[in-house]
Amino acid sequence: MDYYGIGFSNIRLPNDSQSYIYRYNARTNQFPEEVFLHEFLHTLERNSDEYGYEMPELHDYESYGYENEPVIGQRQWYRDYMNKDIRTSNGYVGLPEEIYTLKPAKSSNFETSYDVDVFKEPENLIEEIKQIIDKLISKIEERGEQS
């Protein structure tokens, strides 16, 4: 979750449409949304920690009696974690209810070192041609070819 102290979680999907991630297969990807939920919960976990709340570590599901189940993965653990329904001898634990209404504790969580313009659409013919050339160069570099 923590990338060189920046604190961001990244999910990278390959561009290859033939990749298995684009086809549901119960043996390969049990609960496909799980990875997105997992990374989002890491963000809430970090925010809770920065605000001083105590809660279980997201990866400690086994120590609380939960299992990674076939087909549904860790769905029950995530549900109980988000609803503070994890039963312990001292009562229930999980993410604090307030965390869903609080902004990240540190203003640096809103700053990036560069502008993200992945979804920027070309505004004129020159930008459109440049975008096409950049994509071609990127494809050539991926294949290891020299132009």
Model confidence pLDDT, tens digit, residues 80-95: 999 999 999 999 999 9
Query: Which pair of structure tokens corresponds to residue 25?
Result: 């297969």
Burial (CB count within 10 angstroms: exposed 0-12, middle 13-18, buried 19+), residue 74? buried
Residue 3: its pLDDT value, please? 45
Single-letter amino acid code for the residue at 126: I
**Rounded to the nearest 10 degrees, how much is the dihedral formed by the CA atoms of 18, 21, 27, 31?**
-160
Q: Record the pTM.
A: 0.58
